Structure 1
């Protein structure tokens, strides 16, 4: 791996330089930045994935929607459609993407959800359709600089922080580490439970953020197992076949291994499951000898599996998804900060 990084490093410098020039053009107002008629909160990261963005976006949507008319705008990664599409809970995952559909189904009309690869165009259309909207949450938009944002939230994973990473292709960063300077808030994700203050202080020092930028630490809070077929709730079985198509499944593996024997089948992020995939999964599951066994997947994977022709193929097997949320230290301080950005725009 070290040798490969050395070989790829010159290409990383070229890519990083291109991104640095692009950022310089935005910083000097040579490239235009458009402000829309609502507050805009952006959630994103410097890396290409695996920071736990989706549960943090859900957390913000849930919190903001309790006080403000809230909407979510995503690119709609993996969808086959183009342009602006408003997302209903009954939408096809192929037309809107799994993350946006997950938000629409989870909040079921309490917020408005849309996808558009051009964020300015998407936000303008969303506000035209729903002029009562007070705040738009941009999903994975840290590098989408054409739209003005009132608050830029930067996520970085505790075990894979951006300050120990390299720019693509030698590493996983989308731009140089200096991109951190655009952050108004930093959330360190997937932090260990009961993190001591000295450990937090050490990590914050590594981030190198100015004192004016608050840093929060979040950890994953796992809930129950929810049946894909019946929505029944159950504890993890003695033996688990874990099926994932997400950026970083390691925290989930470690959680399940606390109570179960885990076999993991890993697919690529946002994987589009096929009949052959399901047959392979079921064939492996049939080899498990334990009477107490189940197939576990993530909520994002469940959205793709249930919103396709594969749904009927799952019926004869015990498929469950692992419920998860995030728990943030000093939550009241974070929400006060976020709310202040929204109120200042009113």
Structure 2
């Protein structure tokens, strides 16, 4: 790995020049960034791969939904459609993407769920169709600088922190570590629940070498298993794990602590499940009736899609919902978000 990183280093230098020039043009106002009269909260990261953006967006929805009309805006990665689109009952993961359809299925009565590659174009469309929108939550738009967010939440995976990573293609960074300074708050995600005060302090010092911003720590709270195949089937101790996410290791580790994993079907991130995939599951179930299938909520919304619903109804399928759980100072993080929304609204009213 070290040798490969050395070989790729010249390309990382070139990538740094390109992204650095782009950021400089935005920083100096030579490239325009659109601003809006309502609060826009962005949840993103510096790296490729999963850092927990989806559960963080859901945390913000739960925090804000009782007081504000919320719209989420995602790129809609992996969908088969293009352009701006507001989710409806006719949509699925193929039309709006897996994270947006998860938001829609969980919160559709409380939240406007939308997708659009060009956020600066999409936001005015949201406001035109839903004039009562109070807050927009941007999903994975830290590098989408055509929109200037009111508040940037930067996530970094405890297991792969941005401050030890390297630029693409030598590492996983989309832009240099110094751009963490654009964040208003930084959350170290997927921490072990028993993380010590000393380790938190060391991580904070590492982060503040690049950004003097508040640092918070969160872990993943796993909920109870939920059946979504054959409701009559009981969850067995021996399971087949199904994942199509960027980093399956934390989920796999959790499942292994409670069940015996006999097989792991590890698909690529944003994998769109097909009838052939379901046939494979049926073959496994027929070979061994003593196993159940466990998957993530993100994968569940695609496996339970209406196109596959009739195919999976006899399978012992289960998923585990997850939520963000802050380790100390969670109330301070929530207060920062609420104050940012309130202050932005006051500013807009004055203008």
Q: TM-score, normalised by structure 2?
A: 0.93
CA distance in 1, matches of 2:5, 2:211: 33
**Does the alignment pair 1:147 with 2:147?**
yes
Matched positions, count: 343
Shift of residue 276, structure 1, vs aligned partner: 2.4
For residue 169 of structure 2, what is the aligned residue in structure 1? Answer: 169
1:49 is paired with a residue of what secondary structure?
Answer: coil
CA distance in 2, matches of 1:8, 1:81: 34
Shift of residue 331, structure 1, vs aligned partner: 1.6
For residue 57 of structure 1, what is the aligned residue in structure 2? Answer: 57
Matches within 5 A, 1:280-299: 280-288=280-288, 291=290, 293-299=291-297
Shift of residue 12, structure 1, vs aligned partner: 1.2
Matches within 5 A, 1:257-296: 257-262=256-261, 263-288=263-288, 291=290, 293-296=291-294
Alignment RMSD, CA only?
1.8
Shift of residue 311, structure 1, vs aligned partner: 2.4
Shift of residue 83, structure 1, vs aligned partner: 1.4
CA distance in 1, matches of 2:128, 2:272: 33
For residue 252 of structure 1, what is the aligned residue in structure 2? Answer: 251
Shift of residue 303, structure 1, vs aligned partner: 1.1
Runs of 4+ in 1 over 6 A off after TM superposition: 230-234
- CA displacement 1:286-320 (0-9 Å, x = unmatched): 4447x3x3101111111112225222221221011
For residue 343 of structure 1, what is the aligned residue in structure 2? Answer: 342
For residue 131 of structure 1, what is the aligned residue in structure 2? Answer: 131
For residue 348 of structure 2, what is the aligned residue in structure 1? Answer: none
Q: Residues 213 and 149 from structure 1, CA distance in 2 versus in 1: closer, same or farther, beyond 3 angstroms? A: same
CA distance in 2, matches of 1:93, 1:279: 20
- CA displacement 1:168-203 (0-9 Å, x = unmatched): 111111111111110100010000012211110011
Matches within 5 A, 1:75-94: 75-94=75-94
Matches within 5 A, 1:1-40: 1-40=1-40
2:223 is paired with a residue of what secondary structure?
Answer: strand
Kindly indicate whether the alpha-carbon contact (under 8 Å) linking 1:37 and 1:127 is maintained by their aligned counterparts in 2. Answer: no
CA distance in 2, matches of 1:209, 1:64: 32
Select the residue among 306, 317, 325 that pairs with 1:319: 317
- CA displacement 1:135-191 (0-9 Å, x = unmatched): 100000000011111100000000100111111111111111111110100010000
For residue 326 of structure 2, what is the aligned residue in structure 1? Answer: 328
2:321 is paired with a residue of what secondary structure?
Answer: strand
- CA displacement 1:33-87 (0-9 Å, x = unmatched): 1111210000000011121111111111111112222111111111121211001
CA distance in 2, matches of 1:341, 1:167: 31
Name stretches of at least 5 consecutive residues in structure 2 with no aligned partner: 346-351
- CA displacement 1:74-120 (0-9 Å, x = unmatched): 11111121211001244132111111111011002201111111001
1:345 is paired with a residue of what secondary structure?
Answer: helix
CA distance in 2, matches of 1:247, 1:257: 18
Kindly indicate whether the alpha-carbon contact (under 8 Å) linking 1:35 and 1:147 is maintained by their aligned counterparts in 2. Answer: yes
Q: Residues 288 and 16 from structure 1, CA distance in 2 versus in 1: closer, same or farther, beyond 3 angstroms? A: farther
Q: Residues 2 and 232 from structure 1, CA distance in 2 versus in 1: closer, same or farther, beyond 3 angstroms? A: farther
Kindly indicate whether the alpha-carbon contact (under 8 Å) linking 1:244 and 1:297 is maintained by their aligned counterparts in 2. Answer: yes
